[in-house]
Amino acid sequence: MHTFSVFPAVLLAAALAAGIPSAAGAQGHTGHHASPGDSAQVAATVDRFHRALAEGDSAAALALLTADVQILESGGAEDRAEYRAHHLGSDIEFARAVASRRGPVQVRVHGHAAWATSTSTTEGTFRGRAINAAGAELMVLVRTPEGWRIAAIHWSSRNRRS
């Protein structure tokens, strides 16, 4: 289960300090040096990551992460090696066991960086525990020679009332 952290506020403050426009706005916004297809490619990368988790394909999920990725969940931060060793397996187990409905992915692209946000609802049973949660996700991606790759992930969730 993912929990709240202040990473989105920190990211927004850093983006504003760097002169990157606000992330508020319409789906698929592209900024300076971005092509219209970039938004679709960013969203496809996010979708491929989620599909890899749901299919139990840890190699495919890891291939979409940068070497210096930072993953924030459950009140902590992990680098790629820590995520691989600690939470990747349980994230795959959770994705395969519990139904999740993701809302539309909102993408903002600015040059060689992009961020994608979405919300979700997750209902089911995991390890004998009933799950009924609303979630939010922020992924920061960077353009690489291999395509868009995920450089940071922040997941948060809260229990929903039935």
What is the CATH number for 85?
A: 3.10.450.50
The predicted pLDDT at position 35 comes to: 76
Residue numbers of the domain that contains 149: 28-159
In a domain, 118, yes or no: yes
Determine, yes or no, domain membership for 4: no
Give the pTM.
Answer: 0.79
What letter would DSSP give residue 49?
A: H
Is residue 11 in some structural domain? no
Helices and strands (H and E) in the chain: how many: 5, 8
Burial class, 85, CB count within 10 angstroms (exposed 0-12 / middle 13-18 / buried 19+): exposed
In a domain, 141, yes or no: yes
Residue 114 belongs to a domain: yes
pLDDT at residue 32, rounded to an integer: 53
E runs forming strands in the chain: 29-30, 65-73, 76-79, 99-102, 106-110, 113-126, 129-144, 147-159
Tens of pLDDT along the chain (162 residues) come to 433 333 343 343 334 333 333 333 334 555 556 677 999 999 999 999 999 999 999 999 999 999 999 999 988 999 999 999 999 999 999 999 999 999 999 999 999 999 999 999 999 999 999 999 999 999 999 999 999 999 999 999 999 975
Q: What is the pLDDT of residue 26?
A: 33
Residue 144 lies in a domain: yes
pLDDT at residue 53 in the model: 97
Q: Is residue 88 part of a domain?
A: yes
Domain count of the fold of the chain: 1
